[in-house]
Amino acid sequence: MDFSRYNQAEQAQINAMIEHKQMKDFLRLYSNLVQRCFDDCANDFTTKSITGKEETCINKCADKFLKHSERVGARFAELSQQVIIIKL
């Protein structure tokens, strides 16, 4: 994005807003990952430590979730690029 038409103070404010949005998106992603994997994998509350089965489930769940998020982001970027090309 071209922010050259804005003065330095406005550019700094825009950058701060973008960084804030990115942080919120990251925290939302992380929170969703934790909640999803906890709901799917935490079954035994009789002990403080997680079982081997739960640990394996959590690792698979997190890996799958992150790969899915990465793929969605890549697909979104592809579609955004196509929209830009069509507009030109």
Tens of pLDDT along 47-62?
889 999 999 999 999 9
> CA 24 to CA 52: how far, in whole Å?
32
> CA 13 to CA 80: how far, in whole Å?
25
Tens of pLDDT along 21-77?
999 998 998 999 999 999 999 988 998 899 999 999 999 999 998 899 899 989 988
Q: Compute and round to an integer the Cα radius of gyration of the chain.
A: 20
Buried b (16+ CB within 10 A) or exposed e, 9-25: eeeeeeeeeeeeeeeee
pTM of the predicted structure, to 2 decimals: 0.64
* Three-state secondary structure of 32-65: HHHHHHHHHHCCCCCCCCCCHHHHHHHHHHHHHH
Q: Which helix (H) or strand (E) holds 50?
A: none
